[in-house]
Amino acid sequence: SSPTSSWAAATASCYLMAIRFGSRRARPFAARVLRLVSLEAAAAAAATAANAANAANAANVNAAAAAPAASQPQQSQGGEVRAVFARLGELVPSWTWLPWLPQLVAMLGR
């Protein structure tokens, strides 16, 4: 996990906890939490596509040249912000998400 991902997860956690405990000033930040989740999902999809491309390229190379590429560590998929959202999102009052219902439905389609 990168430091940026950790900061994003901490940010999402703080916003969700503030909303949970009734801060009126924190409610508009629910949109930022949704944005952080979508950015992380897009980054994970890009990493998955890159890993698939690397695997396809390694399969086309002879066995002697592919051995060093296979020994390289895979990038982690992250998911810190999504994990925070899954854990704390259900603690936030459901009416908080009503203004962002179209964005939530669009995220389901991705």
pLDDT of residue 58: 61
Span 17-52, pLDDT tens digits: 999 999 999 999 999 999 998 888 888 888 888 777
Q: How far is the C-alpha of 5 from the C-alpha of 25, rounded, in Å?
A: 24
Q: How far is the C-alpha of 41 from the C-alpha of 35, rounded, in Å?
A: 10
pLDDT of residue 67: 47
Amino acid at 93: P
Cα 101 → chain centroid? 19
24 versus 55: which is more confidently predicted? Answer: 24
61 versus 41: which is more confidently predicted? Answer: 41
Model confidence pTM above 0.85 = no
